[in-house]
A and B are shown apart, each in its own frame.
Chain A
């Protein structure tokens, strides 16, 4: 009897070893809890991470930030960039087994454009109409040429949902999202977990090597790492830079990081209401002095342990869109003081608002002490993020510090912040020349023309300096050695195809 049991258990163990995927669950620690799980309504970064596993998009982004096929297999621009035709993948099913076709794409895009609660309207604002030009072909007709549309379709705006489920649930789709990604929705308990399981009929199912994915929001970095070390987590996202060293030294863990497409910046109130009426808002020399007083490399070292990338433009120095003629400036206190003097100031009092999380607070204190040497007396005002956004929109600030998560198309990092009518132009900077350059860049399909225009705009902005760019945030991961096949994506998403767990 005893032998028998032993035999069975050996056999069982053998089976388990031979088929590690039998019941493998991947547990991923997220920095924050996602909001509503409807691609049309969602707005959080962590929400996007979940969609990466749950909802396939028309196109995806490759490791080298190129747009690659996903649900659309090929596409072409025509009529001077005003029409985009996409061929769709065949034999794809949604999680509710309804078939994926042109009709579903048209329905989803229209839903994103017309659902009153939709947060995708700006992203799709250039679309005049979308129609099925075949069972597996869709045609986007644009109001005016917009090459950034493909980039939008690589994110939530292009995540195709099951029309049947969306019609049934309406604005409540987030309670049980049905998409066509490798994993399907099982359950969600707010602030606790989001559970997905392998979708058996996924079109690329051979690459799905885990059976279940659980996302756990754990904001505290120490707690997150403790969970990783104890085996309660397999991947931890956005770990604190200060933990990088200990993760690298841990034989059971792997460390990985990548510079994201976003930027960290300080927005100077140029013309947004009464509070813009101050020397800093009026005199670009003072802004230049402020910028010169900052040691960007030191910030990356002190606050990010060298994992961030110093920068001075909306695109990281590693990006092809970065203007190499304007290198990241070294700190120059003398020149800063001289600029101050030219502008007629020995010292200047400034209030700087920032979000009250610890990394921001640490960073702003570093900057505060750096610019003090040039004569800037900075008062820090830490506010909660909700208030920060509100104050920034209403113009109730002198300098406001916030991050942009970044877009794959350069347009998404600059156009809406700095053009006269830009949706997020909270500094209210308005320069017709910049407008012209950026609008042109948006419509041209010629990369050389675009590059020329972005460089020209960068030069003007670097002089006027309504936005003081500081650098580019890293996405750092700690991964259990049991996990194989994971590579950090430059957009900070967690792509799970090909990821397995021992």
Chain B
């Protein structure tokens, strides 16, 4: 076993450190990382922060503009918007990360299998993928979310499933590019079985573009969750998510514009953070530019 490993060095380690060096020089990517980290920390620290209960209603403080008592104002039930924003960060980030995780976990194996084996397996998987890709992402997510019933979990599943074909196609294409490489041929020649070749020789070498795509898809998924919640198909009351806050806010646009401003701005910031990070990762992991 060790002999095989030595004779077939998989060029992954060196690649990683080089990528990290490039990444560190990329200021906008670091900026993106900071935004994402900031919101992630907020989301994680939500229970520890000295903020009001996000679902505590107060009939005497309905739709109050931002003030010293409520920095970002209050909503239609007198709840503190800052607290809801922070707890909402949990829902939104979770939705982004989990739905992409679902898409990666289903999509990559299928893509691997399709690309690696080719033939009729590839044929079937590719046709189904194409069919799924032909259906507009949001329409599919809406239909799936309606089918599963409105809840944050179901919205995540709906978005994840809708994003799956993207990862099938991507990983399949990457496998096709990699599978004729010498080290894969070598692994095959020494008689490793398919699963081992796929997981130990192919997967590590196609992981970079998948990470890039995943980061960028998190951005899309966060917007998708907000869209579903905006249509009433995502996070359910009284728990907050940025999209569901916007859904309520649209009824009070002229009376309480702050209700709509903050969640929108937060979505925008997080999404731009993930986009910057994804761009940075792409540049850093791109083997063409040294």
Contacts and interface: CB of A to CB of B under 8 A. Distances in A.
Contacts of A368: 238
Given A366-B57, A369-B57, A382-B232, A222 B250 contact: yes
Given A246-B255, A365-B237, A358 B247 contact: yes
A366 B57 CA distance: 8
B149 interface: yes
A220 B260 CA distance: 15
A243 interface: yes
B62 A240 contact: no
Contacts of B251: 221-222, 240, 242, 358-359
B252 interface: yes
A362 interface: yes
A302 B252 CA distance: 13
Contact of B232 (A356, A366, A369): A356
A383 interface: yes
B59 interface: yes
Majority DSSP secondary structure for residues of A touching B: helix
A384 B149 CA distance: 9
B107 interface: no
B254 A302 contact: no
A364 B236 CA distance: 12
A362 B248 contact: yes
B75 to A, nearest CB: 9
Interface size class of B (residues with CB under 8 A): 20 to 34
Given A243-B254, A365-B57, A382 B77 contact: no
Interface string A283-302: 00000000000000010001
A387 B237 CA distance: 18
B254 A358 contact: no
B123 interface: no
Contact of B77 (A359, A365, A380): A365
Given A382-B236, A383-B149, A384-B146, A222 B77 contact: no
Contacts of A90: none
A358 B238 contact: no
B253 A380 contact: no
Interface residues of A, number: 28
A319 interface: no
A380 B236 contact: yes
A361 interface: yes
A369 B238 CA distance: 10
A114 interface: no
A402 to B, nearest CB: 16
Interface string B33-55: 00000000000000000000001
B150 interface: yes
B77 to A, nearest CB: 6
Interface in A361-389: 361-362, 364-366, 368-369, 380-384, 387
A382 B150 contact: yes
A383 B151 CA distance: 10
A356 B238 CA distance: 12
Interface in B144-158: 146, 149-150
B254 A356 contact: no
Contact of B237 (A222, A382, A383): A382
B76 interface: yes
Contacts of A222: 250-251, 253-254
B57 to A, nearest CB: 5
A383 B55 CA distance: 20
A358 B248 contact: yes
A243 B255 CA distance: 8
10 contacts: A242-B251, A298-B59, A302-B77, A356-B232, A358-B247, A361-B237, A361-B248, A368-B238, A380-B237, A384-B150
Of all A-B residue pairs in the complex, the 4 with the closest CB atoms, nearest first, are A356-B232, A222-B253, A369-B57, A365-B238
Given A366-B77, A381-B236, 14 more contacts: A221-B251, A245-B255, A298-B59, A356-B232, A357-B232, A358-B247, A358-B248, A359-B251, A361-B232, A361-B237, A362-B248, A365-B77, A366-B57, A369-B77
